[in-house]
Structure 1
Amino acid sequence: MRWLFLFLGISVFSLSSPNVQASGQSVAVDYLHGESDLVGVRLAYRPYHTQVTTFEWLGELDLYWELSLNFWEFGQENQHETNYAIALSPVFSNQFDTLYGKYPLKWEFGIGVSLITDTRFAGKDIGSHYQFEDRLGLILEFGEQLEESLAVRYMHYSNGGLNDHNPGMDFLNVSYARKF
């Protein structure tokens, strides 16, 4: 829980810090694959990208905010369950390499909050409509102006102990994003 407050604090600080550089917006579409027959699609809007240079021990840390709509299905065709979620996450990333001397390769990490429509889904009682959305991934930026990106990430949804039932849900995620 302390990590969530630390990252939210850094995020809020970055919005008002004179040492940040803001850039454009972006949209993303993701495919998610979870346990058993659990699959999903995320549609995301990123209204704010910035670079935080205040924290020397982290280097040039990038930050974007992401608002997403999630559509999940579980089960076989014509007998599936559907669940929906809306989430808001601050996401931090940092370039650690460059491919072909031009395309940045970055890691990313984020902890956000989400609201899920059904607490019984995919054979589980997830305990609460309120969940935390955690992510850890790799991003490759490309395009003439580096306006496009592909990401592979692990995502975990959990109520963080807000309820006695907290089995969590895990997804592997592939994402395409475009800045504008």
Structure 2
Amino acid sequence: MAAICVFCGSSTVLEPRWLELAAAVGAELAGRGHTLVSGGGRVGMMGAVATAARAGGGHTVGVIPQSLVDLEVADTSADELVVTEGMAARKTVMIDRSDAFLVLPGGLGTLDELFEVWTLGILGLHDKPIVLLDADGFYTGLMGWLEGVARERFIGISAMSLLRVVSTVDGALDVIERVD
């Protein structure tokens, strides 16, 4: 099966529904036999997705910079924990180790990761699926903005088609499995 990189929030002050969503993703990844590649944190949605994946018998790979290990937020229960020198190296390892990308709700770090893998795909540097899980309309505003940017031709139609937007966990993994 595939190694699926999940980008998501690591905030510790989230509403329970977001942690439940992350746990549902982790459980479904494991249930379908996929490996989870994550940012290597044990907090927030990142911790919830990894914990649920392991609870379901899934293999987890965490990739985390030393600076976050030093803050004691590393997912030391990961089946494999890769420690990098910095955030840029972290993203490179996560991209290299993954067959697909699944973006859950998150903040600036999540958006940074989304835009990096999307840009690399647009440039033809990878052909891995990128799926945005728009649970509860979380990304509706972003998608509206992106559609406006595309109308102004700053983003091409072919670039927009590389980002697949779905609203359910099952739907997200179905899209990845069809492309993979």
Please confirm whether the aligned pair reaches a TM-score higher than 0.5, indicating the same fold.
Answer: no
TM-score (norm 2): 0.22
TM-score (norm 1): 0.22
Q: Which has the higher helix share?
A: 2
Q: Radius of gyration: which is bigger? A: 1
Relative contact order, higher structure (CA 8 A, sep 6+): 2
Q: Which has the higher strand share?
A: 1
